[in-house]
Structure formats: C-alpha cells, structure tokens
Amino acid sequence: MTSHISYWIAGDPRPAFKTARFGKDRLVPLQEAAETPAILHDTFDGQVASAGCMLLSEGDELILLGIVKPIRQTGSAPGFVSDMESGPVRDALAGFVSSLRRLSPLGEVVIVRQPMALLDDLDKTLARGDLTVLTAKEGGSAAYLSATPLRGYDKALGRLSSGLAEIRVSGLLDARGAVSTLLPAALRQDLKPEIEMTAGTTAFRAATDIIDAQLDLARAHEPGTIADVDSEFLHQYRVALRKVRSVLSLFKGVYAPEETADLKARFGALMAQTGTLRDLDVYLIERESYLALVPEPLRPGLELLFEDIAADRAKAQEALARHLESDDYSREMRRLQKRFAKDGKKLAKGPEAERKARDLARQLIWKRYRKVCKIAGSIDASTPDAQVHELRIHCKKLRYLMEFFTPIFPEAEIKPLLKALKRLQDVLGTFNDCAVQKDALAGRLEAGDGRRSARKLEIAKSLGALLTVLDQRQRSARSEVEARFAAFNSPATRAGFAKLFKSAGAKP
C-alpha cells in the first residue's frame, strides 16, 4: 500500500508532466503559481540535506521540504534550532539538526509552488500533490514533488510513482543531490573524507593521505571558527588536528624520527592555541544540563558563573580568530599542507614506511586491543581512577587506529567491533568529562583576584553543589566500567578482533 510518495527531481519537471501519462492518469497543475525568491539554509555539514530535507525561507516564512507535504511556519528565522520560535518547521528540524549547529544561508533560489492533482480519464482526482520547483540564479534547478492518494486510490499512486522513475528528462535525486544541483559549492562533500586504501597501500602512503585529508578538513573549518558561526567549527577543527597528531604518534616509524618530532611539535603548537576556547565552549554547551543538576535556589549563582564564562569566551574567541587570521598562521598551515601534498614527496621516510598499511594496522590494532583488555580486565571497585583514565586513553587510540584503517577491512566485520568499542567508550567518556569539568570548575573557584565579593560567594555556593553532582555522576560512570567491559569482552567481539587483526604467531 502506498500511502504517500515524495521525490526530489533534477531539473524542472513541468514540461515533462504536460505530456506524461501514468496509465490513463495524468498530473495536472491546479493553478498557475507565482515565482518568489527564497533562501536555502542548512548547517555547515548539511544536516538538513542528510535528513532528506531542504529548508527555505521566503520572506518571514519558513518552508521545510522533504517530509511528505511541504511544512510551513511563519515568523521565525533560521539559526540555532533552540533559538527558533516553536512551530511545525522548527519542531521537525529539532528531530534531526544538532542543537550545536547553526542553520546558515547557503544561497538564493527562486521557488514556484504549485498544487497538483493526479486525474484519471474522467478527470476524477485520484491523488493530490504539491510541486515545488527551485531554480538557482546560476540556472540549476530541482524540484520536490509530494503526493497523497485519496482514499482507495493507492494503486494510482503506485502507477505515478513508477511512472516518475521512467520520465527520462528528469532524474531522481536525494535532498543532498538537489542542493548540489542548485548550488554546487554550497555543501562540502568532503567533510567525511574517504581515504583510498588497498591491500598494496604502504603505511607511508596511508599515513600521508590521512593527514593530507585531515589538514584540508581543518582548513575547511577555519572560516566558521573565525566568524563564530557555531562551536562545532572549532570542535571539528580540533578533531582534524587531533587525528593528524594521532597518526604521527600511532604510526610509529613511518616517518623519520626527526621528521616526526618536528611535525608533532608544530601540530602541538597549533592545537595549543585552541584549548582555552574549546573548554569554555564546553561549559556553555553544558549550561542547561548544569542548571538542571543543581537545586532551584542555587541556579542564580550558576547563572552568574555562566555570565563570567561567556565573557571569557568572547575574549578567547577574539584571540583565536586573530590567530587564525594571522599571516604567521596561514603561512604555517600552507607549509604543512605542502609537506603532505603530492604523496608526501618532501617527507623523510622512516623504517616502517614501505610496510603494507594492512600489516602495520593489524599489528598496531591487535597490540592496542590486547592492552585495553589487559587493563580493563584488572579493573574492579578498588582500582584507582588513574587506571580508568589510562584505559580510556588506550580505548581512544584503539578507536582512532580502527577508524583510520577501516577502508582496508571488510566493513561488515569492522563496524560491529567499532560499535562495541564505542559503547565501552561512552561510559569512560562520561567518567572523564566529569573529572575534567570538576577540576576545571574547581580551578575557576580558586582563580581570580582573591577578593571576596558577594557575587563570588554566591557563585561558590552554587559551584559547590554542582561539583557534588558531577562527582556523583563520575562515580556512577566509574561503577559501570566493569559491566561495560564485560559486555565489550563478549566471545563474538573477541573472535571478531582476533579474526581481523591477529596475525599468525602473535600473542593470544
């Protein structure tokens, strides 16, 4: 039973609809529609398009295409979903757009909205539809058609659906494809770079390609970080640089020792510039959840703390933006990019450079996996926290290694292992986040000029309560580690790791 259909179509299908027949049925416009200018919006990483949708603003009206019929809402501008006024469009967006991402304009289009009807040979309406044709200034166009059958006419909708696929003048797309048809440069396709790796790829080549791609990725996030669009830009920038650094430290011997040391130092220096702002971002992201953690009377104190943090953050943001815009910074980035470009011709190779990436990967992953198991296996209620932290770091490294080398292993086999690992990491992550935040917040309490104003006292009281809750959270996460590891250490996962990564002769 077909209850409704919706399609993204390349080009303007109206001329084709004029002559197209779906069995004896035809699709006709119910009224001539006017053209209106509109602006297409999405997050930097295209979360709206990835959810199969397109967000448009037309004057003060929002239009969301992609969920059956077009959804509309007036009086709210795109931005952070949480800042938008409640309504059908916002509520739908909240289902798939991260609260951390800002919806920004991608470009201008002209839209034509046209109600349509599917009529049979007696002009009986069988289904009603909505056609939205979008045309970009540069000339690309795409359309969204949705149709719902009247009761008892599901079969006619089925005919329409299969007929649409056959209208050759217009191809069918997904929402992402529709956006790129309209605005080819709007959505970056390379935010999740796929590194090509085959059985023959050398470790040197793999490492160099990964770093090259991550450097591009870091650079792609610079403008949004400078413009302070949303905190995810800096976060993703840091993730990319962190991945570069992990390749340098995890792929031991791929580059010459002095090369590795030099690169590590330089990427370390780049990373160091970003820590302060990220920490402050994290507090502000947690603002609502922190407020919810402390009892009502203590909330005003916490609000004061967040005021301070927001002020600090503004300063840190300015400083980082200045840094990213500086000549020194862009020169350094260009130099680094050059080193990894062109298959890394300029890089000094190390003893492991020519090894097969696959062999190195298996060796490194197996070793790290064994380490994780060894530490995790010894953890019980009496184990000191330091050891839990150590476990977390090994898990993280294991995760990075597996992710770097995913392309050379069968996807169906490595994916479940990654998933199992992620579940273990979740609890370790909570444990660590609480610990880090506790320390940092306690640090804020002690820092300052030592004067004891009423404001400071109020903040201190609230912070005290917050620290207590964080400590409880940390302990609860800590108490779960054993069970989570037991789940991770299942026979299936163990066999999976051994099958993919254990080479003959390696320690069991």
Partner 1 sequence: MKIIACYSNKGGVGKTATSVNLAQSIAEAGHRVLLCDLDPQGASGFYFRVKPSKALKDEQFFKDVKRFTDAIRGSDYDNLDVLPANMSFRDFDIFLSRMKNSQSRLKKALKAGGTEYDIVVLDCPPNISTLSENVFRASDAIVVPVIPTTLSERTFEQLLHFFKEKKLVRKKILGFFSMAQGSKTLHGETMARMRKTHGKRLLDVTVPFATDVEKMGIHRAPVSTFARSSAAAKAYDALWRDVMDRL
Q: What's the min distance (Å) between Cβ of 151 and partner 1? A: 4
Q: What's the min distance (Å) between Cβ of 124 and partner 1? A: 4
Q: Using the structure block, give the residue that is written with the tokens 């026979």.
A: 491
Q: What's the min distance (Å) between Cβ of 126 and partner 1? A: 9
Distance CA 262, CA 298 (A): 49
The tokens for 101 are: 């991402």
Q: What's the min distance (Å) between Cβ of 143 and partner 1? A: 25
Which positions lie near partner 1, rule CB under 8 A?
120, 122-125, 149-153
Q: What's the min distance (Å) between Cβ of 159 and partner 1? A: 15
Nearer to partner 1, 147 or 298 (CB): 147
Nearer to partner 1, 22 or 204 (CB): 22
Task: Count CA atoms within 13 Å of residue 114 on its CB side.
Answer: 25
Nearer to partner 1, 59 or 115 (CB): 115
Region label for 228, one of left (φ > 0), alpha (ψ between -120 and 50) or beta (otherwise):
left
Distance CA 56, CA 105 (A): 9
Task: Count CA atoms within 13 Å of residue 218 on its CB side.
Answer: 25
* Strand ranges, E, within 414-508: none
Q: What's the min distance (Å) between Cβ of 14 and partner 1? A: 22
Q: What's the min distance (Å) between Cβ of 141 and partner 1? A: 31
Nearer to partner 1, 148 or 225 (CB): 148
Q: What's the min distance (Å) between Cβ of 183 and partner 1? A: 38
3-state secondary structure 59-103: CCEEEEECCCCCEEEECCCCCEHHHCCCCHHHHHHHCCCCCCCEC
CB of 348 within 8 A of CB of 255? yes
Q: What's the min distance (Å) between Cβ of 167 and partner 1? A: 25
Integer-rounded Cα radius of gyration of the chain:
27
Nearer to partner 1, 151 or 451 (CB): 151
| Dihedral sign for Cα atoms in the order 326, 332, 335, 339 | negative
Nearer to partner 1, 128 or 461 (CB): 128
What DSSP designation does 505 have? T
Nearer to partner 1, 122 or 454 (CB): 122
Q: What's the min distance (Å) between Cβ of 30 and partner 1? A: 11
Long-range contacts formed by 423-426: CB under 8 A, 24+ apart: 423/484, 423/487, 423/488, 424/376, 424/395, 424/484, 424/485, 424/487, 424/488, 425/392, 425/395, 425/396, 425/399, 426/484
Distance CA 243, CA 405 (A): 13
Nearer to partner 1, 122 or 386 (CB): 122
Nearby residues of 72 by Cβ (< 8 Å), 6 or more positions away: 61, 62, 63, 64, 88, 89
Nearer to partner 1, 4 or 278 (CB): 4
Nearer to partner 1, 119 or 348 (CB): 119
Distance CA 353, CA 357 (A): 9
Helix (H) or strand (E) holding 152: none
C-alpha closest to that of 269 among 329, 338, 330: 329
Distance CA 343, CA 154 (A): 56
Nearer to partner 1, 24 or 342 (CB): 24
Q: What's the min distance (Å) between Cβ of 477 and partner 1? A: 51
Residue 341: how many CB atoms within 10 A of its CB?
Answer: 14
- Cβ-count burial of 192 within 10 angstroms (0-12 exposed, 13-18 middle, 19+ buried)? exposed
Nearer to partner 1, 30 or 39 (CB): 30
Q: What's the min distance (Å) between Cβ of 481 and partner 1? A: 55
